Amino acid sequence: MNLDCQHVREVMDSYLSEELSVETNHDVLRHVAGCRDCAAELKRRGRLRALLSETLEVAGDADRVRARITQAVDREQRSWARGARLGAVAATLIAAVAVAYWAGKPVDAAAYDDSAGDHIACALTYPEGTAYDPARAAENLVPPFERMADAVGLSHGNYHVIDAHMCPYKGRNYAHLVIRGDGQTVSLFAERAERGALPDTPTMVLAGDALDVHATTRLGYLVSAVATRDHRIFLVSESPTDPPDLAQDILRSAVGFIRSLEK
Amino acid sequence: MFGIPHQRREEFDRAALAHVPELLRVASRLCGSADAGEDLLQETYLQAWRSFHRFEAGTNCRAWLYKILLFTYAAQNRKRARQPFLVDLDAAGETALLVDSPTPDTLTAEAVKTAFDRLAEPFRTLVLLVDVEGLSYREAAEALAVPIGTVMSRLSRGRGLLRLDLARHAPESSTGARSRMDLPAQRRARS
């Protein structure tokens, strides 16, 4: 096959990136050997890349940054370790603290940010094509959430649960369903209400139910949250689901499941 | 279950911290400064540590970290990252494709930097990942969680826009006028 100049220009950058098949690579080389214009353009594009690398060089001290990261992870690990050591004692204290919490109505100020943060850190990292594995979910969910995926429903319209697991994040321990559909990823989180009330946001009433849904945007994601007696449920999505009431269906199923745990 | 088991810390240090130099360079280039790049990278590694329970040993840690870095960057710059999609993305890309501007003869570091900074997302990130950092198309697709075809079409548009911008701001004598006139003629002849 003889490539003309137009075709060579179209694949020239892929040639520089070494992304062409051996055959097309040879075609480009053959063409460039006999075409001064394309040879000159190839040289200019190579020079452009070299200049890009050169001009975008930003000096950074990798050793210093590695030390900084290590310290930050140490701090986080220490806070978790402290939490684990104190776990047994805390278990007895939590009830008392919770009573005090509820009496004073503390607010869980980071509730929305943390759900959006974990959505980014966890749900968005699932590779394309991930499929739900009931055995993996059964292994990764712990009581009382072990039935959550089935109870909420594995499919809602075009949206399907692709994973379910316990998801530790900033000292929380979410039960996390990762749901995919229509090109977007949605997270459903449930956690025990141990940090206080949901912060005030505009609320809407879930159709057919008496629960308020807090709706807000955090870190660029839509967060819909519902507080039940002992739990908090968060639905995090990039954009409104289609159809719009699909998010409500998922939330409603989740609320039904969580309420069944609280009976 | 409370936090990540202690024994995984060694694994995290071994698998993830080895990529700090490369990711620091990418983060700094994305942010345009070393300070902002360091902050972005620290947040990336904290996010990675928090979700390390989901990382499977033996899989590609570098690609996994790239993905977290790019999501963290996009989340921090949500407004800016989304803006280009609100601008006339297709029109911008088509212009680049139709003109298929040749690269100017005379390129300066300053002109290249300015043109790169003017490049809209998502083209800017892809040109950085592939043409500067040398990621393969497949690696870039994995990092951005988009199909490889999307990477190829966005790269083609991004590179075209970069050349177009450089040609527009280059001295008239250095833009390879002959080539620019020849290419549309060739396209017509082919069709």
Number of folded domains that form chain A: 3
Structure tokens given for A105: 């109505």
Whether A62 maps to a domain, the answer reads no
Confidence of residue B54 (pLDDT cuts 50, 70, 90): confident
Res. B144: pLDDT tops 90: no
- Cα separation, A183 vs A170, whole angstroms: 28
According to DSSP, residue A249 is labeled: H
| DSSP alpha helix (H) spans, chain A | 5-16, 22-34, 36-55, 62-85, 87-104, 111-121, 134-140, 148-152, 246-262
Residue in A with minimal Cα distance to B129: A53
- A239 reaches B (C-beta below 8 A): no
pLDDT of residue A48: 93
**CB atoms A168 and B187 under 8 Å:** no
A61 lies in some domain: no
Domain that holds residue A162: 107-262
Tell whether A131 and A241 lie within a shared domain.
yes
Chain A residues inside the 8 Å CB shell of B137? 17, 19
Q: Do A135 and A257 belong to one domain?
A: yes
Do A93 and A177 lie in one domain? The reply is no
Range in A186-195, B10-19, B56-65 with the lowest mean pLDDT = B56-65
8 Å CB contact of B45 and A62: no
- pLDDT score, position B82: 39
* Nearest by CB: A128 against B108, B145, B156: B145
Q: Is the dihedral of CA A148, A196, B75, A182 positive or negative?
A: positive
Q: Write out chain B residues lying below 8 Å of A40, CB-based.
A: 176
- Same structural domain, A26 and A153: no
**Rounded to a whole number, what is the distance in Å from the CA of A109 to chain B's nearest CA?**
19
Q: Which residue has the higher pLDDT, B183 or A138?
A: A138
Task: Tell me the domains of chain B and their CATH numbers.
Answer: 7-76 (1.10.1740.10), 82-190 (1.10.10.10)
Same domain, A133 and A244: yes
Q: Determine whether the interchain pair A37/B163 forms a contact, defined as Cβ–Cβ distance below 8 Å.
A: no
Percent of chain B topping pLDDT 90: 21
Whether residue A76 and residue B49 make contact (CB cut-off 8 A), yes or no, is yes
Q: Looking at this predicted complex, what is its ipTM?
A: 0.76
The shares of helix, strand and coil residues in chain B, as percent rounded to the nearest 5, are: 75, 0, 25
Same domain, A242 and A217: yes
Q: Which pLDDT score, from 0 to 100, does residue A33 have?
A: 93
Parts of chain A with a pLDDT under 50: 1
Mark whether A97 and A227 lie in a shared domain.
no
pLDDT in tens, A70-90: 998 888 877 766 655 666 565
